[in-house]
Structure formats: structure tokens, C-alpha cells
Amino acid sequence: MTKYLVKNKEELQEIIKTNSKPLNSLDVSNISDMSFLFSDISNVSYFDIDSWDTSNVTNIFSIFDGCSSLTTIPLLNTKNVSNMNSMFLNCYSLSSIPLLDTSNVTSMDSMFSNCKSLTTIPFLDTSNVTSMSSMFRNCYSLSTIPLLNTSSVTYMGSTFSNCSSLTTIPFLNTSNVSNMNSMFLNCSSLTTIPLFDTSNVTNMNSMFDGCKSLTTTPLFDTSSVSYMGSMFYNCSSLTSIPLFDTSSVSDMSYMFEGCSSLTSIPFLNTKNVSNMNSMFDGCSSLITIPFLNTKNVSDISYIFYNCSSLTSIPLLDTSNVTNMNSTFSNCSSLPLVDKVLFLDKSNNDFKRQIYLQMSQEQLQQTYNNLVV
């Protein structure tokens, strides 16, 4: 059978849109760009394109994006493809992927994002990939990840975000990665993390947010990290934290919120931190807090909220703090005098002696005046 030679991408899109010719009767050898070709065709489970010659294709960005009923992927020649961003985005019904030639691919952002039925990933040659942002985001059924060559990757934000069935992560070469924001967000079945090279990482916001089965973390090199907001948010099984270098960190808001099994915190260098909002919120097993340099902090609202086991706190510099909302709410084990001394920005040895001699009623009135 002689095939119909498609002149360009526009003609091919029109054929697909109007269903004017059978897909398996087309010669698409002239087409190099197949981006968005079948995107949002939500009522088709299989495209009969196995016979297509795609050897000249370089771009298949979002080719099957939104094909929510797609269950089988045709065998495509992808040897010259460089861009696979969002290739299978929102392919909700897809449970497996064929072996793809990815040797020339440089970007895989959101490649499998929202493939909620996907259970396995074939081996992928990722030696030239530089970005894996949201690559497996919301792959709820994925339980394992193959070994990936990530030596060229610089961005891994949300790479495994919401992979709630994932129990282990293979070793990854992350020596060139600068961003790990939300990398393992809500990986609720993950129990251990391998030791990654994080020497170039600057952003760890929400990195382990919602990893409620994680009990320990390795000692990462965090010397270049500036952002640790929500880093361990709701890691409810985490019992200890290694001694991280936090000398460059400016944001620790929500960092340990919901870490209800955490009993102690190591010394943290907080000289550059400006935001500690809800930093220890919900750390109900925490008994003591190490000394924190808070001279540059402006927001400590909810910092000790629901720290019901906290019995003492260091006297911190609150001279630049502008927000102290609910700092000690539900800190039922903390002596009232400690709360007053903390909240009074003008505290000194003389005032301390005065507060120590006050009755509980007087302290309560002083505390009430300070939190208004």
C-alpha cells in the first residue's frame, strides 16, 4: 500500500483533527516536530502509528499530553529526539511505557507527571538530560525507579513529588544539581534516603515535606543552601536530625512543623535566617531547643505552637522581630516565666529577677499584655 506523504506538521494536525485519513496510511518522514500532536485527545486508548517513520523527529514535547484514556504507547523511533518535556503528562490510564531511545534527550521535565496508573519505568538513557523537574510528579502507583544517570542534571525540583508508593530511591549522581525544591514531597512510603552529593544545592524547600515514614536522613552537604522552608514538614516519624551546615540559610519557616516524633534539635547556625514562622509548630515530643541566633529574624509567629512537651527555651534576641503571633500557644509544659522573658524584647538580668519574684497572676497579666 502506498502511503500518503504528509507535507508538514500543520497538515498532519488537520488530518488528526478531522480523522480524514487512517493514521497507519501516513508517511510522516518529513516531520521533525511532533509537539502537542495528540494532546488532549482524551477518548482514544491507542493510536495506530507503529508504522510511522519518526527517525527525523527531534521534538515530541507534550505529544500525548492529556491523553487520559491512552493505555498503550506505540513503538516510536526517538533516537534524534532532544525534548521529551510533558510527553506523557496527564496520561492517567497508562500503566507501562515501552523502551525508548533517549540517548539524545536533554530535557525530561514533567515527562510522566500525573501518570497515576504507572507502576514501572523502563531503563532510560538519561546521560544527556539536564532537567528533571516534576518528571515523576503524582505517579502515585510507582513503587520503584530504575537507575538513572543524573550526572548532567542541574534541576530536580519536584522530581518525585507525590510518589506515595515509592519505598526506595536508587543512588543518584546529583553533583551538578542546584535545586531540590519539593524533590520528595509527600513520598509517604519512603523510609530511607541515600546520601546524595548536595554540595551545589541552594534550594531545599519542602524537600522531604510529607515523608511521614522517614525516620532518619543522611548528613547532606548543605553549605550552599539558602532555603530550607518546610524541609521536614510533617515528617512525623523522624526522630533525629543530623548536624547540617545552615550558615547560608535565610528561610527556616515551617522547617520542622509536624515532626511529632522529634525529641531534640542539633545546633543550627541561624545567623542569616530572617523567617522562623512555624519552625517547630507541632513538635509535640520536643523537650528543649538549642540556642538560636535570631538577631536577623523578623517573624517567629507560631514558632513553638503546639510544642506541648517543651519545658525550656533559650533566651533569644527578639529585637528585630515584628511578628510574634501565637508563639507559645499550647506550650502547656513551658513555665510562664520563660514565655514572658522570651516575649519581652527589653529583657535583661534585672528584669529577670523581677519576673522571678512575680506571682503567677502577675506573670499571667504580664504575658497577656505582651501577646496583645
Residue range 67-77, pLDDT digits in tens: 999 999 988 99
Does some domain include residue 144?
A: yes
pLDDT band of 226, cuts 50, 70, 90: very high
Using one digit for the tens of pLDDT, what is the confidence trace for 116-162? 999 999 999 999 999 999 999 999 999 999 999 999 999 999 999 99
In a domain, 298, yes or no: no
Is residue 86 one of the residues assigned to a domain?
Answer: yes
Range of the domain at 104: 1-165
DSSP-derived secondary structure letter, 277? T
- pLDDT of 357 > 80? The answer is no
Whether residue 209 is contained in a domain is answered as: no
| Mean pLDDT in residue range 353-357 | 69
pLDDT computed for residue 343 by the predictor: 76
Asked whether residue 319 carries a pLDDT value surpassing 90, the answer given is: no
Residue 23 in this model has a pLDDT that exceeds 70? yes
**Does residue 226 belong to any structural domain of this protein?**
no
pLDDT for the residue 362: 79
**Residue 107's beta-bridge partner residues?**
83, 131
How many residues are there in the chain? Answer: 372
SS3 343: helix
Q: In terms of Cα–Cα distance, which of 146, 145, 153 is closest to 127?
A: 153
The better pLDDT of the pair 179, 316 is held by 179
Question: How many domains, the chain?
Answer: 1
More confident residue, 222 or 367: 222
- Indicate whether 17 belongs to any domain: yes
Question: SS3 for 98-164, per residue?
Answer: CCCCCCCCCECCCCCCCCCCCCCCCCCCCCCCCECCCCCCCCCCCCCCCCCCCCCCCECCCCCCCCC
Q: pTM for this structure?
A: 0.91
Q: Single out the residue of 233, 270, 278 nearest to residue 253, CA to CA.
A: 278
- Mean pLDDT value across the chain: 93
Q: Residue 93 domain-assigned? A: yes
User: Mind giving me the DSSP string for 15-44?
Assistant: HHHHT-S-GGGEE-TT--B-TTTTTT-TT-
pLDDT at 124: 95
Q: Would you say residue 344 has pLDDT above 80?
A: no
Q: Say if 152 falls within a structural domain.
A: yes
Count other C-beta atoms under 10 Å from residue 35's C-beta: 18
